[in-house]
Amino acid sequence: MAEFPALKPAFTIKIELDAPLAVGTGVRQTSLQIIPFTKGVFKTEESFDPAFEAQVVGTGNDYIHVDPDGKHMRLNANGVLKTQDGALLYVNYTGVITITEAEQKVLGGTAEEGSTPWGNSFTHLTFETGDERYKDLENRVFVSKGRFNVQKGKPTVVEYRVSQVVQG
């Protein structure tokens, strides 16, 4: 048995981001931005069990603080998903984005069409549900890496590739 955990591909997330809401500077001494999202899809990889495809329902929010030096963003996002078979799942993810020139352009609205590189955004996901078919998701550990996808005239999409942490 390996001493370090391994990663098993679990699902891909694509979320359309709405316009940010600049709340302002609070006790953290950094500005709070809230980015709502109302559209998004979670789709499991073929080898993942339980298999599902889920859509964001209602409005989720990504609460973001940029570090005072401007080099990193701290994420805390949450929302509700509805699976193709009617189950409701609450999802929360926290993480850190390293802000490079590519992310600065996306956040500033000046990015060209295309995607930012993988590897500047990492998150940890947790789930809650009352549906027994998906209850085991609450007991698993998930991590992801992300990127932004930009298409002119369309909302920016944040995409995550999520893996389950498993015994190596």
Assess if residue 1 is contained within a domain: no
User: How many structural domains are present in the chain?
Assistant: 1
Query: Which has the closest alpha carbon to 79: 107, 58, 63?
Result: 58
Assess if residue 131 is contained within a domain: yes
* CATH number of the domain to which 103 belongs: 2.40.160.20
pLDDT tens, position by position, for the chain (168 residues)? Answer: 789 999 999 999 999 999 999 888 766 678 899 999 999 999 999 999 999 999 999 999 999 999 989 899 999 999 999 999 999 999 999 999 999 999 999 988 899 999 999 999 999 999 999 999 999 999 999 999 999 999 999 999 999 999 999 998
Question: Residue 52: which domain range?
Answer: 6-166
Assess if residue 60 is contained within a domain: yes
Q: Is 75 exposed, middle or buried (0-12, 13-18, 19+ CB in 10 A)?
A: buried
> Cα angle vertex 45, ends 44, 50, to 5°?
50
Assess if residue 45 is contained within a domain: yes
> Cα angle vertex 117, ends 112, 120, to 5°?
120
Secondary structure (3-state) at 137: helix
DSSP notation for 79-113: EEEEETTS-EEEEEEEEEEE--HHHHHHHHT-PPS
Please tell me the pTM assigned to this model.
0.93
What pLDDT shows up at residue 142?
Answer: 98
What pLDDT shows up at residue 28?
Answer: 64
